[in-house]
Structures are given as C-alpha cells and as structure tokens.
Amino acid sequence: MKIIRWGEKGASEALRRFEELREFSAGAETPASISRTKEIFGEELTPREVVQRIIKDVREKGDLALSEYTRLLDGVEISPSNFRVPEEEIQRARKEVAKEFLQALEAAKENISSFYQGFSPPEAKTHKKDGKRIIEKWLSLRRVGIYIPGGKAAYPSTVLMSVIPARVAGVKEIAIATVPQEDGRASALVLAAAESLGINEIYTIGGAQAIAALALGTETVKRVDKIVGPGNIFVTLAKKEVFGWVDIDMLAGPSEILVLADETADASLVALDLAAQVEHSPGIAILVTSSANLAQEVQKSLEKLELEGLKQALEKYGLIMVTKGLEESVSLAERIAPEHLEIICQEGEKIAEGIRNAGAIFLGASSPVAAGDYSAGPSHILPTSGSARFSSALSPEDFMRRAHIITYTKEALEKEAPIIETLAKAEGLKWHSESVKKRVSQKSRAQKDQPPQ
C-alpha cells in the first residue's frame, strides 16, 4: 500500500489518479470485458452500449429477453414461469440456514427498525391567502423494486437495509430482484431475510436485465416506481439509463473507507478496517494521518494479514496519505468526501462536529464500519464517489414524494390575474393568459365558488 506525503511533488496528481478509481464506471472497459461482449453480442460494445442493448431487448421481447440474458450472462437456464420464487421456497429458506444466522438477522432487524421507529412524514401544511388555499402533503410511493446483488456472494443485510426504510415510509408493494445461483435458485440467506420482513415477491433475475424488467415491466414482472440497491457497473449503468421512467436511489461506485487517524490509533485495527473495505472487490481504502509512524505501522500490519488477493487489491485501491497536521488531514477528508469516514483521533468529537462531506461517520476506535454494514441501524446504502457532498444515506424520505393541492376562489383568481397574464404574455404563451382571462370575465354562475376552508 503506497504512502504519499501530501504537499510534496506529485502528491496532487497521485490523488487525482486515485480519485478516478472511485468513479462508478471506472475500469469497466477492459480488454477482457470487450472480448466478452463480442462473444455474446457478435460485436465489441462498451458497457453502456451493452446496457442499452439489454434494455432495448427487454422492452421489445419482455420475458424472453430476460431468459436469454440470464442464460448468456449468468450461465443459468430459467424459464419465465420460474422467475418468481414460489411462496413455499421462501418459507423453506428459514430451515436451510443456520440458527445462528437467523438469530443475528433478527437482532440486526430490531436495531434497524428501532433506529427508524421515530420517523413520521411531515404533517400536511396548509397555506391560505386572500381566497387561495395550497395544501402540501407527503405520499409514500406505491411500488418499489429492490436489487440485491448476488452470484458468488449473498447480501441478506442489504435486504434489511433497503426494505425496512421502505416499509417505514409506508410502501405497500415491494419486489426484490436478485442474481440466481448456479442452480438457478435465489440465495437461501436472501430469501430468509426477505421472509422475515414479509416480502413474498422475489425474482431470480440479475444484472441490467433485472433493472430493465423492474423499470419497464414484462409479462411476469410488474413495473415499479423506484429502484434501489447496489450492484456492479452494468447494474449502475442500467439504473442511469432507466432514470426518468422510474426514480433511482443513486449511482454507486466502489465501496470506500477513509480512516482519519492520529498517533493514538491502533495500527492493527486501522489495518483491519482498510483490509475489510477492499474485500468488496473493488473497495477503496484510504488512510489519512499526520503521523508518519502510524502510516508505517499500518503498512507493516497490512503486510502480515493473510487474505487471497489482498496485496494486489491494496496496491491498486489502497492509499496512505501523510499530512503536516490535523487541519490538513481534515481538509483532505472533506475534499475526498468518502462513503465511510472513520475518525480515530484524540479530538474525534470536535472533528466529527465539523465534518460536512461523508456518507456516514464512525467515531472512535470501537466504532468500525462493519458495525454500520450490519447492525448499527442507519441504512448501509450510502453515497460513494464523492457524492456525499450532496446526497445522503437511503432513508424513509427516499420512498416518499410531496404533492400540492391548489384551490382558488374566483375572487382570488381575479386578484392574481394581472400577474399571471403579464408573465404569460412576456413568455409568449397566449393561451396561458387566455385561460385566466376567460375565467375572470365570465359572469358568476348560480353556484358560486366556495372559499377554501
């Protein structure tokens, strides 16, 4: 893992190159991936072109396209009649997983539910003025699709972290799409997590084709209003393509951690947290410290860890930056705006109070990112790639929208008519102006408008 001294020649360029690795589309176009597209599609395509092709086919061919791409991309034969997981298989999953897993699942579910328990949407707001009434109210989305990545690994924790906020918001219909395993079935771990939350609409469809199905609908899959959940580059690009047809949570890049530490930090613990992050494959791991000694000790501790591929991952996705002092360290952390920010410093509380740019902050040596990943409470679906500067963790608010009910009496419209007509004429919109003029010039009807209550 490379150590860079901030402020020295080449440091800014090194950080800029490193930041490019954080982009959600970074590294997508490799010789191997392009060769693979030629094998499947008969021509070399970029990842975006692949996704556009898949979405087009799902739009035109529906379930047949889903079956074809599941066979080509996942190596699994699934007929449309088998996309949806039967109710009995969901129930059976609890018997297929370890008792310890179910106990941990229930404990994590309780923590997450407890965290969101106090949430309630803002009360309807009413604005009245001169016979005009405007009501602003909050509505939960009707139907949401949740993508749970899978394949070699399973992520039941993401089921909890996405379904619970949606339920708290009042979403009635929740559909899960998850990558089929080699045997064509969904992971029993994912099914058990879904069953614990009362979710019974689960599809063994993964990748960009799953996003297309949720966004557009097919013969088997009913379209949704919003799609949430992490995935690989093709899933993320697909979410970007379908945004506008449906809402999405975010465009997620590689998962990332930035540890902000001083000389009081335990180097072995910092090393473990950095190593844990690159397990995501890829995962970005950064240490920012003003202690050159800590930087070297962390580097030594990482070298002692035995994990296949860890050294190569840290060489590419790991970085240690040594600064001249705490103020410079904090400034760097703010610039990077990490998904996860661990603060292990003597003045940790003070630093945390001043941080604006981080998806989630983990304060103190006993608060590892792993706790937030599984059981702390807030959703672990967080902004990446520096988007913590302007976005937040997934929450119940993300499953709601505002609506306005606008009511005018005739007298109120007459009063504002000059404003509306003048602005409409200035913009060259004649019939906007006429739609108001006609109303105010009409004689009063037998049944007059009633003033808003």
The CATH number that applies at residue 362 is 3.40.50.1980
- The model's pLDDT over 71-95, given as tens digits with 9 standing for 90+, comes to 999 999 999 999 999 999 999 999 9
For residue 448, tell me if it sits in a domain. yes
Q: Which contacts qualify for 37-42: CB closer than 8 Å, 24 or more apart?
A: 40/72, 40/73
203 and 317 co-located in one domain = no
Who wins on pLDDT, 334 or 152? 334
Look at residue 382 and tell me if it is in a domain.
no
Identify the sign of the CA torsion 437, 439, 443, 448. Answer: negative
Alpha helices, DSSP H only, in 125-201?
156-169, 188-196
Question: Based on the domain organization, do 357 and 428 belong to the same domain?
Answer: no
Does one domain contain both 307 and 217? no
Q: Are residues 100 and 215 in the same domain?
A: yes
Is residue 398 assigned to a domain?
no
| Whether 182 contacts 176, CB under 8 Å | no
What is the set of active-site residues?
Answer: 339-340
The dihedral built from the CA positions of residue 114, 118, 119 and 120, taken in this order, carries a sign that is positive
Residue 133 lies in a domain: no
- Do 241 and 149 reside in the same domain of the chain? yes
Taking Cα atoms as reference points, which of 142, 145, 141, 143 lies closest to residue 227? 145
Q: Are residues 323 and 436 in the same domain?
A: no
Q: Does any domain span residue 366?
A: yes
**Closest by CA position to 84, among listed 177, 156, 216:** 177
Residues 109 and 196 in one domain: yes
Q: How many domains does the chain have?
A: 3
Can you give the residue range of the structural domain that contains 68? Answer: 28-121+139-251
pTM here is 0.91
Is 453 found in the same domain as 372?
A: no
14 and 48 both lie in a single domain = no
367-392 confidence digits (pLDDT tens): 999 999 999 999 999 999 999 999 99
My answer on whether 33 and 67 are in the same domain is: yes
| In a domain? residue 220 | yes
Query: What's the count of helices (H) and strands (E) in the chain, helices before strands?
Result: 18, 14
Together in a domain, 87 and 213: yes
The pLDDT value given to residue 447: 45
Query: How do residues 313-366 score in pLDDT, each as one tens digit?
Result: 898 899 999 999 999 999 999 999 999 999 999 999 999 999 999 999 999 999
382: three-class secondary structure by DSSP: coil
